[in-house]
Every structure is written in structure tokens, then in C-alpha cells.
């Protein structure tokens, strides 16, 4: 059954039972108190009358019933609602069977209903010498029972009204209470069906409730987390698909070349120069495949086993780098300028040199002949900021987000011509992650690119400006 219906049923039954039982208890307490007091009054009056009759009759040899009845009525002040009768003969008595059931000095009473009126008949049996007398008080209690019937009628009308009003109100409240839950259920179904953007509005339309509002907020937080995870998984899946496609392509190109040259050597009788050219091509493509596999191996190792970091002085680091990049400067005709602050940073020196070498290599490749590549190190408060910038052709905006993915290349033809497989920046990204930092690319086509990242300083000394290397 629905939640709203359950709430309605339970709350309605509680209200009905509480109102019904409480109302009836009130009616019963009032009416029983009223009727019991009236009955007790009549019985007491009847008892006094009997006692008086007994006391008066004792003094007379032959009691005169009529006279004694008047005297007793006068003293007991039995009014118009009560009628006093004293009988000396049970056979003349109205309720002969009633009288016959009474023992000596016993009082009997019962309620009688005649023509819609209710009377209490109370009788005392008085034994005097050998005679038996019956002192009867007949009291009209119709007013009391009429009042009781009115109370019952009011109770019934009250219960009926409360049942109708509370039933309608509780039904409405129950559906209002359940409304936010229905909204939540609908939203959960939408999300389950793939609509990860579905959220619960802050006002769900039901009764204002802190719990429901918090539930909506929590639900939205959960939906946010689910959406983010789904997006991340989708991005990762797409990345893997691109990786596999690119990897297949990178394998296929040299393999095609090698198979072609091998088939040429096998099928034709080539002269010495042609055989050398074919063998050179097979060797070159083979070396390319070897480099590709080594880079992939590095990427795999770095993603699983992070080497320990150690304090390294930046002067030594940049000195080694300046020596190892002389070759690049000559190869691409680019001037490489190092401007490092002196500091001690936490790094794995071999990997950090590899990272910087790759960035400088890429900067040189992108730069025009005769231009300049700057490598700067700025010591900050607890951090060391390194930037590699060039004034080359720059990177298109649409490529910036993907250039660190394996095998991703902005210009495939030119990259392959320059001997790249598209794994360099992926390795750089992995090395940066090992150092607890990320690579930040700022580029504008035709004006150049700046790559930066931050290392953690471990020295306490104030930074000092270095000299250009």
C-alpha cells in the first residue's frame, strides 16, 4: 500500500479511537455520576421514610397508615417528583411480585419505563409485630435520562463530525507528506534511466519539513557524485578507446613499412644500394617500434610505482639540464636560456630532468629557427615554480585539453616526421603527478606556449636569484 494511505489509516484510527474512547468516557462519567447520585438520593430518601415510619409506628398500638404517611412525607420533605406510598397489605401493592421478593428490613429498587418516562421505584419492607408494611418511593428520573440521551446524541454528532473532518484533513496531510517522497522516487527513476542531470528542487511542494529538505539536498549530492563518476568513467572509457585506436595505428604504420620492405627484399633481386636502403628502412622502423614500447613501459611503470622523492638543489639540476640540451639547441637552431632561482626542491632528479627535457624538446620543435626558449625557476613561499616558454607556433585551443593524453598529437604528420609517437607529454603528465603537481598549458596560436608546474621547496632559506646558464 502507498505510504500516504498507511499514514492516513494509522493516524485516522488513532484519532478516531482517542476521540471515541475519550468522548465516551466523558459521557459515561457524566451520566453515571448524574444517575447514581439521583438513585442514591431516592434510596436515601426511601430509607429515611422507612426509618421514620418505623419509629412513628412503634409508638402506636394500631398504626394509622394514612396519618403516618402524611407525617413521614412532611418530615422527609418528599416533593412532587417523588411519591411516597405506605402499604400494609402486599396484595394491594402495585408491584406484588416485587414486594414478595423482599426480606425483612430489606430495600429493593428497580428502574421502570412507562410511556417514555423513567421511574425509580424504591421499596423498604418494614416488619412491625405481626404486620408487614411497605414504604415505597417512586421518583421520576426522566429528566436525568433525557439529559443522558442528549449527551449521547452530542457525542455521536461530535464523533461523526470529527471523523469526517479529521478524515479529510488527515488524507490531505498524508498525501502532502508523501508528495516529496514521490518526487524523490520519480527523480531516482529518471536517474536510473540515464538522466543524470535530474535534480530535486529545493521546494518539493509538500509540507515544509527539515528532514525532507535535507533528504532532497542529500539526494542531489548523491546525484552530483553519481553524475561526476559517470562522466569520469565515460571520459576514461573514451580515453582508453582513443589510446587503443592510436596505439593500433602507431603499431600499424611502422609494421606496414617493415613488411613492405621485407617483401621487396624477398621478392626481387635488388642491387646493393637498394638492399641497404630497404634494410635501413626496416631498421629505422624497428627502432621506432622499440622506442614506442620503451615509452609505453615507462608510462606503465610510472603509473603503478612512484619512486621516492629527495631534496635536490636547483643549481645542479639546471646545470645538468643545460648541458644535456646543447644538442637540442644546435639541432633546432634555437637558443635555450635558463633563469633559475637557487633553492632546494623535493623531486626525483632523473624523472624531473626527463620531464624538463621533454618540455624543452617540444618547445624547440615548435619554435622557428633562431628563436629563443626560456626555462625559468622562481622560488616562492614553500614552492618552486618552473616555466618553459617558447615563441613558436602555439597550440589550438581545442587541442589544449587533450595534449597530455597518450598518442594525441596536434599535427600527426609533422609529429611523426619529427620522430614523435605522442607519448612524451603523457609521460610528463605522469611525472608531474608523481611530484604532486599538474602541468598547466597557456598557449596562443602564432605567439607561443608556456608550460608551468610547481614543486615543493624543502629549504628554509630565502630564495636567491640565480644566474643565467
Partner 1 sequence: MKWLKYGLSTLLILGLTALMLVFPRFYYARADRQDAALKTRAIRLESTQDPLTAAETLRIFSENSANGIYTQVPLTGSTNEYAADCKAIVDDIFGASEQSPVANYLWQKLDSYESASIEARQFLTLSEGVIVRLTLISAQFDNLSFYYEQDTKAAIGFSFFIPYDDIEPDQTSKIIFQLEEGIETYVYYSTLGLQAWEFDYQIDALTESGVLFSASVREANEADAFS
Q: Least separation, in Å, of the C-beta of 229 and partner 1?
A: 36
Residue range at the interface with partner 1 (CB under 8 A); choices 107-115, 270-278, 433-441, 447-455: 107-115
Quick one: cell of 13? 484510527
**Burial, 364: exposed, middle or buried (Cβ in 10 Å; 0-12, 13-18, 19+)?**
buried
Residue with Cβ nearer partner 1 (152 or 306): 152
Please, are residues 394 and 443 in contact by the beta-carbon 8 Å criterion?
A: yes
Please, are residues 78 and 45 in contact by the beta-carbon 8 Å criterion?
A: yes
**Burial, 381: exposed, middle or buried (Cβ in 10 Å; 0-12, 13-18, 19+)?**
exposed
Q: Least separation, in Å, of the C-beta of 80 and partner 1?
A: 17
Backbone angles phi, psi at 67, to 5 degrees: -65, -45
Residue with Cβ nearer partner 1 (113 or 234): 113
How, if at all, do strands 335-340 and 372-379 pair? parallel
Residue range at the interface with partner 1 (CB under 8 A); choices 99-107, 265-273, 286-294, 400-408: 99-107
Query: Counting contacts by CB under 8 A, is residue 94 touching partner 1?
Result: no
Select from 29, 64, 75, 92 the one that contacts partner 1 (CB under 8 A): 75
Select from 89, 94, 106, 263 the one that contacts partner 1 (CB under 8 A): 106
Query: Counting contacts by CB under 8 A, is residue 165 touching partner 1?
Result: no
Count of residues interacting with partner 1 (CB under 8 A):
51
Query: Counting contacts by CB under 8 A, is residue 163 touching partner 1?
Result: yes
Site for partner 1 in 131-150 (CB under 8 A): 148
Query: Counting contacts by CB under 8 A, is residue 50 touching partner 1?
Result: yes
Which residue in this structure is represented by grid cell 624477398? 266
Quick one: cell of 374? 626560456
Rounded Cα distance, 367 and 373, in Å: 8
Please give the full DSSP string across 253-309, using - where no structure is assigned: HHHHHHHHHHHHHHHS---HHHHHHHHHHHHHHHHHHHHHHHHHHHHHHHHH-PPPP
Rounded Cα distance, 438 and 415, in Å: 24
Quick one: cell of 462? 630565502
Query: Counting contacts by CB under 8 A, is residue 74 touching partner 1?
Result: yes
Sketch the per residue contact string, 54 through 73, with partner 1: x for CB under 8 A, - otherwise: xxx--x-----------x--
Rounded Cα distance, 189 and 198, in Å: 10
Q: Least separation, in Å, of the C-beta of 408 and partner 1?
A: 57
Give the binding site for partner 1 (CB under 8 A): 1, 5, 9, 12-13, 16-17, 19-20, 24, 27-28, 31, 44, 47-48, 50-52, 54-56, 59, 71, 74-77, 98, 101-103, 105-113, 124, 126, 148, 152, 155-156, 159-160, 163, 167
Amino acid at each position: 500500500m502507498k505510504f500516504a494511505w498507511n499514514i492516513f489509516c494509522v493516524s485516522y484510527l488513532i484519532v478516531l479511537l482517542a476521540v471515541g474512547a475519550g468522548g465516551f468516557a466523558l459521557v459515561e462519567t457524566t451520566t453515571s455520576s448524574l444517575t447514581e447520585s439521583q438513585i442514591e438520593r431516592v434510596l436515601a430518601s426511601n430509607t429515611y421514610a422507612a426509618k421514620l415510619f418505623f419509629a412513628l409506628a412503634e409508638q402506636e398500638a394500631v398504626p394509622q397508615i394514612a396519618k403516618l404517611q402524611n407525617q413521614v412525607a412532611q418530615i422527609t420533605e418528599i416533593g412532587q417528583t417523588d411519591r411516597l406510598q405506605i402499604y400494609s397489605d402486599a396484595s394491594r401493592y402495585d408491584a406484588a411480585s416485587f414486594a414478595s421478593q423482599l426480606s425483612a428490613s430489606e430495600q429493593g429498587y428497580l428502574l421502570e419505563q412507562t410511556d417514555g418516562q423513567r421511574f425509580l421505584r424504591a421499596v423498604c419492607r418494614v416488619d412491625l409485630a405481626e404486620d408487614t408494611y411497605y414504604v415505597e418511593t417512586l421518583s421520576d428520573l426522566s429528566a436525568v435520562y433525557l439529559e443522558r440521551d442528549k449527551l449521547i446524541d452530542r457525542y455521536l454528532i461530535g464523533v461523526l463530525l470529527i471523523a469526517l473532518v479529521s478524515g479529510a484533513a488527515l488524507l490531505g496531510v498524508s498525501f502532502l507528506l508523501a508528495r516529496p517522497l514521490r518526487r524523490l522516487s520519480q527523480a531516482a527513476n529518471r536517474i536510473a534511466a540515464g538522466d543524470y542531470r535530474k535534480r530535486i528542487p529545493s521546494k518539493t511542494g509538500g509540507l515544509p519539513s527539515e528532514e525532507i529538505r535535507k533528504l532532497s539536498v542529500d539526494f542531489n549530492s548523491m546525484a552530483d557524485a553519481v553524475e561526476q563518476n559517470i562522466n569520469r568513467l565515460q571520459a576514461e572509457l573514451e580515453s582508453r578507446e582513443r589510446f587503443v585506436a592510436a596505439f593500433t595505428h602507431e603499431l600499424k604504420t611502422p609494421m606496414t613499412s617493415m613488411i613492405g620492405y621485407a617483401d621487396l627484399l624477398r621478392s626481387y633481386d635488388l642491387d646493393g644500394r637498394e638492399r641497404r636502403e630497404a634494410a635501413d628502412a626496416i631498421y629505422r622502423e624497428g627502432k621506432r617500434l622499440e622506442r614506442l614500447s620503451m615509452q609505453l613501459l615507462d608510462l606503465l611503470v610510472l603509473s603503478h610505482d612512484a619512486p621516492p622523492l629527495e631534496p635536490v638543489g636547483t643549481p645542479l639540476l639546471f646545470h645538468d639540464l643545460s648541458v644535456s640540451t646543447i644538442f637540442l639547441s644546435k639541432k633546432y637552431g634555437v637558443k635555450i636560456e635558463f633563469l633559475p632561482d637557487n633553492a632546494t626542491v623535493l623531486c626525483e632528479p632523473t624523472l624531473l630532468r626527463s620531464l624538463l627535457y621533454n618540455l624543452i624538446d617540444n618547445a624547440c620543435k615548435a619554435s622557428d629557427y633562431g628563436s629563443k626558449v626560456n626555462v625559468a625557476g622562481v622560488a616562492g613561499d614553500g614552492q618552486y615554480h618552473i616555466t618553459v616558454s617558447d615563441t613558436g607556433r602555439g597550440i589550438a585551443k581545442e587541442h589544449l585539453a587533450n595534449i597530455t593524453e597518450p598518442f594525441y598529437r596536434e599535427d600527426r604528420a609533422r609529429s611523426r616526421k619529427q620522430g614523435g609517437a605522442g607519448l612524451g607529454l603523457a609521460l610528463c603528465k605522469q611525472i608531474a603527478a608523481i611530484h604532486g603537481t599538474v602541468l598547466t598549458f597557456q598557449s596562443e596560436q602564432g605567439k607561443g606556449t608556456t608550460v608551468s608546474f610547481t614543486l615543493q621547496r624543502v629549504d628554509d632559506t630565502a630564495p636567491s636569484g640565480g644566474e643565467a646558464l
